[in-house]
């Protein structure tokens, strides 16, 4: 499957802007969704399913946003932004019939953290093997993991209820909010005292402190600490990072909580299935020109003006762009109130990561793995202590990329035969920390390449001969993520997942229910509750709110049922 490449983007479903221009400017849509990332697609598809006439606008010539597969190197399909799937809400999967539209999510095996001394800590698919591996390093930690898993699962079960659900506003006296707060309180009390105490601690602790309460082995702690910082401009010792780990742990593949998988065909397969569903329900996807401005008249949205000069009208405009991009770049400041603008500017959306997408001529040979055929199929991490992770963050604070970075890399082509020619491989290398600017100045191409070299050199030390296998590298710093994908400062979650920006405070207080400051303006991106990670929950939640406002029958799935 090669549907999202530049050369093939002008297929029949793209609108011909030249000939269609006049008709389109005259036509008024029920809703316009800006940004064909997975949340925009989810939102548009649910609105179209509900019978609305929906236009989905994408600035790039391809859809997907950061949920994309691109043939950057001929014959290789890169998941060149997001690269693994776990959090995608199963209710959205079913609600949009993504299986029918060709999406298949395949679980991958385990993970491994490589140590500088040539050892590693692996996590295997087989739970007994996994436990023995842990016992190999620390018999005590292997037993403590039972308690750790239990406590993480307790927090997951609570928070999962609120994912596919609009966050209630605790200050509101609307019956709906009060009822929701009551339900939330009830769910909280049901957890029992210990879990409530733990929750307060969990949301405020650092991942490093949290892990110290369970484990003793440095490599085991390092392996678990990584998911506490992914996508966050925080260190493993920063308060609040324990929650980020939870965000990564609450997904599932086929009910296996915490499991991660590959979308067959790369992450773009998710976007493609969503887009096929959207178009099947009469939606129009228009690629190739971004929104110049969201049009507002007398406090009401009227439509959008594109960069190519076209205007499209609708009483409902939904932005899947980041919170700052929507209001600071695509709206006239005169249409907004000053305090609101100040809060948008203060929204914490600091970029912290970069990515290398690498085409490999052959499979790299990691010295420590000794050709372990199981672990090389999983998530591989290069950093072996919490202290090294914290030092990596120091470089970010200093305004530069980590010289000894945290690397989360996968070789999807070992699992997914559609990514590369047989025997060749695609390697997805997520890197942290990478700042949005270098010492306050914009990235240069030279610096980008130096950053790429740092990462490649790091991998080479664990896998001698790695460099010789490289056919092509795509290096993406926060600059590329912002310029190409539209992620402000290159933050992969469209805003950091810290307590001050979660639930009824995401993106900012008073605007957590997907409604923007102008009538008819909505927000459906990951800047909104419950945040990023290819969950599709913000897109679905926003669609539910829009249909509620339009008094349309609501078919958007909600909540999460499990006892």
Partner 1 sequence: MSGADNSGMIKAIDFSSKDHYRTKAFPSPFFTRQQAVNELQEWGRWADYLSPRAYYCSSMEYFAARNASAVFDLTPMSKYRISGPDALPCLNRLVTRQVEKIKPGRVGYCVWCTDAGQVIDDGTIFHLSEGEYRLCSQERHLDWLLTNTVGFDVTVSDETHMVAALALQGPTSCATLKAMGLEGVENMKPFDIEYFPFEESQLMVSRTGFTGDLGYELWVEPRYAEALWDRLFEAGKLRGIQAMGDEALAMLRVEAGFIQAGHDFMPAHATVRTTHTRSPFELGLSWLVDFDKPVFNGRKALLEEQARGHRYNLVKLDIDGNKPANDSFVYTTGKKLIGTVTSAIWSPSAKASIALASVKTPHGQSGEEFLVEIYYQKELKWSRVMARARVVSDVFFTPPRRRQTPPADF
Q: Are 292 and 307 in contact (CB under 8 A)?
A: yes
Tell whether residue 2 is a contact of partner 1 (CB under 8 A). Answer: no
What's the count of helices (H) and strands (E) in the chain, helices before strands? 17, 20
Cβ proximity to partner 1, 113 vs 319, nearer residue = 113
Cβ proximity to partner 1, 133 vs 177, nearer residue = 133
Q: Are 311 and 25 in contact (CB under 8 A)?
A: yes
User: Which run of H or E residues covers position 272?
Assistant: helix 268-280
Considering only 6, 8, 10, 143, the residue that binds partner 1 (CB under 8 A) is 143
| Closest residue by Cα to residue 39 from 79, 107, 89, 74 | 89
Q: Are 362 and 425 in contact (CB under 8 A)?
A: yes
Cβ proximity to partner 1, 259 vs 328, nearer residue = 259
Segment near partner 1 (CB under 8 A); pick from 91-99, 118-126, 177-185, 474-482:
118-126
Considering only 311, 315, 374, 460, the residue that binds partner 1 (CB under 8 A) is 374
Q: Are 183 and 136 in contact (CB under 8 A)?
A: no
How far is the C-alpha of 275 from the C-alpha of 277, rounded, in Å? 5
Longest CA span, the chain: 71
Considering only 22, 94, 100, 136, the residue that binds partner 1 (CB under 8 A) is 136
DSSP one-letter code for 166: P
How far is the C-alpha of 478 from the C-alpha of 291, rounded, in Å? 21
Tell whether residue 558 is a contact of partner 1 (CB under 8 A). Answer: no
User: What are the phi and psi torsion angles at 63 (to 5°)?
Assistant: -95, 175
How far is the C-alpha of 388 from the C-alpha of 405, rounded, in Å? 9
Considering only 30, 58, 71, 133, the residue that binds partner 1 (CB under 8 A) is 133
Segment near partner 1 (CB under 8 A); pick from 35-43, 90-98, 116-124, 422-430:
116-124
DSSP one-letter code for 3: T
Q: How far is the CB of 412 from partner 1 (least distance, A)?
A: 21
- Written as six digits, the tokens of 113 are 């953290």
How far is the C-alpha of 416 from the C-alpha of 264, rounded, in Å? 6
Pairing state of beta strands 425-432 and 353-360? Answer: antiparallel
Tell whether residue 159 is a contact of partner 1 (CB under 8 A). Answer: no
Cβ proximity to partner 1, 249 vs 419, nearer residue = 249
Considering only 6, 8, 10, 119, the residue that binds partner 1 (CB under 8 A) is 119
Q: Is 26 helix (H, G, I), strand (E, B) or coil?
A: helix
Segment near partner 1 (CB under 8 A); pick from 38-46, 294-302, 371-379, 477-485:
371-379
Segment near partner 1 (CB under 8 A); pick from 115-123, 163-171, 243-251, 468-476:
115-123
Q: How far is the CB of 415 from partner 1 (least distance, A)?
A: 18
Cβ proximity to partner 1, 338 vs 373, nearer residue = 373
How far is the C-alpha of 516 from the C-alpha of 538, rounded, in Å? 14
> How many residues lie near partner 1 (CB under 8 A)?
33
Q: How far is the CB of 465 from partner 1 (least distance, A)?
A: 21
Q: How far is the CB of 109 from partner 1 (least distance, A)?
A: 11
Tell whether residue 120 is a contact of partner 1 (CB under 8 A). Answer: yes
Distances, alpha carbon 475 to alpha carbons 77, 188, 203, 267, 480, in Å: 15, 44, 34, 18, 8
Considering only 15, 17, 72, 129, the residue that binds partner 1 (CB under 8 A) is 129
Cβ proximity to partner 1, 189 vs 333, nearer residue = 189
Segment near partner 1 (CB under 8 A); pick from 13-21, 79-87, 122-130, 470-478:
122-130
Q: Are 521 and 319 in contact (CB under 8 A)?
A: yes
How far is the C-alpha of 297 from the C-alpha of 303, rounded, in Å? 10
Considering only 128, 254, 442, 445, the residue that binds partner 1 (CB under 8 A) is 128
Considering only 139, 299, 399, 559, the residue that binds partner 1 (CB under 8 A) is 139
Binding residues for partner 1 restricted to 178-217, rule: CB under 8 A: 191-192, 194-195
Cβ proximity to partner 1, 135 vs 471, nearer residue = 135
DSSP one-letter code for 268: H
- Written as six digits, the tokens of 274 are 């969503």
- Written as six digits, the tokens of 439 are 């010492």
Segment near partner 1 (CB under 8 A); pick from 132-140, 304-312, 339-347, 435-443:
132-140
344 CB-contact burial (10 Å; exposed 0-12 / middle 13-18 / buried 19+): buried
Binding residues for partner 1 restricted to 263-292, rule: CB under 8 A: none
Residues that bind partner 1 (CB under 8 A): 119-120, 122, 124, 126, 128-129, 132-133, 135-136, 139-144, 146-147, 149-150, 153-154, 157, 191-192, 194-195, 370, 372, 374-375, 563
């Amino acid at each position: 499957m090669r549907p999202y490449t530049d050369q093939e983007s002008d297929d029949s479903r793209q609108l011909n802007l030249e000939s269609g221009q006049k008709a389109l400017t005259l036509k008024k849509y029920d809703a316009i969704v800006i940004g064909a990332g997975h949340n925009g697609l989810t939102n548009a598809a649910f609105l179209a399913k509900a019978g609305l006439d929906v236009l989905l606008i994408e600035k790039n010539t391809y859809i997907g946003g950061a949920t994309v597969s691109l043939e950057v190197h001929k014959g290789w399909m890169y998941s060149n932004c997001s690269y693994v799937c776990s959090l995608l809400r199963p209710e959205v999967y079913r609600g949009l019939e993504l299986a029918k539209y060709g999406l298949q999510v395949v679980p991958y095996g385990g993970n491994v953290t490589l140590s500088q001394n040539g050892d590693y800590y692996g996590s295997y698919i087989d739970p007994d093997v996994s436990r023995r591996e842990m016992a190999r390093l620390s018999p005590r930690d292997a037993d403590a993991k039972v308690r750790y898993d239990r406590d993480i699962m307790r927090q997951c079960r609570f928070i999962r209820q609120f994912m596919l659900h609009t966050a209630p506003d605790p200050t509101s006296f609307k019956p709906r909010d009060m009822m929701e707060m009551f339900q939330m309180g009830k769910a909280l009390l049901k957890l029992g005292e210990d879990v409530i105490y733990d929750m307060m601690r969990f949301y405020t602790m650092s991942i490093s402190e949290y892990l110290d309460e369970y484990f003793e082995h440095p490599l085991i702690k390092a392996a678990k600490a990584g998911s506490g910082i992914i996508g966050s401009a925080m260190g493993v010792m920063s308060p609040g990072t324990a929650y980020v780990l939870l965000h990564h742990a609450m997904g599932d593949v086929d009910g296996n909580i915490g499991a991660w998988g590959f979308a067959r065909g790369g992450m773009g397969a998710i976007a493609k299935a969503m887009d096929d569903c959207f178009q099947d329900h009469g939606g129009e996807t228009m690629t190739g020109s971004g929104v110049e401005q969201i049009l507002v008249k007398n406090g009401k949205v009227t439509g959008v003006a594109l960069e190519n000069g076209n205007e499209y009208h609708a009483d409902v405009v939904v932005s899947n762009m980041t919170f700052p991009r929507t209001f600071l770049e695509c709206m006239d400041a005169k249409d907004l109130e000053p305090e609101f603008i100040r809060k948008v500017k203060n929204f914490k959306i600091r970029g912290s990561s970069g990515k290398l997408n690498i085409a490999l001529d052959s499979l790299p040979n990691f010295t420590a793995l000794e050709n372990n055929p199981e672990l090389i199929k999983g998530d591989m991490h290069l950093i072996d202590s919490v202290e090294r992770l914290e030092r990596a963050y120091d470089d970010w604070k200093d305004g530069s990329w980590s010289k000894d970075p945290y690397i989360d890399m996968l070789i999807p082509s070992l699992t997914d035969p559609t990514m590369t020619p047989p025997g060749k491989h695609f390697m997805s290398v997520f890197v942290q920390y990478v700042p949005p600017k270098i010492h306050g100045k914009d990235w240069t191409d030279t610096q980008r390449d130096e950053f790429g070299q740092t990462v490649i050199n790091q991998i080479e030390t664990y896998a001698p001969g790695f460099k010789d296998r490289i056919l092509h590298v795509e290096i993406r710093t926060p600059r590329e993520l912002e310029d190409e994908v539209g992620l402000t400062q290159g933050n992969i979650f469209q805003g950091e997942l810290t307590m001050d920006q979660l639930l009824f405070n995401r993106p900012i207080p008073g605007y957590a229910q997907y409604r923007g400051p102008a009538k008819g303006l909505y927000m459906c991106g990951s800047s909104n509750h419950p945040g990023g990670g290819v969950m599709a929950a913000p897109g679905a939640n926003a669609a539910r709110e829009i249909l509620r406002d339009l008094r349309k029958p609501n078919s958007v799935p909600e909540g999460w049922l499990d006892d």
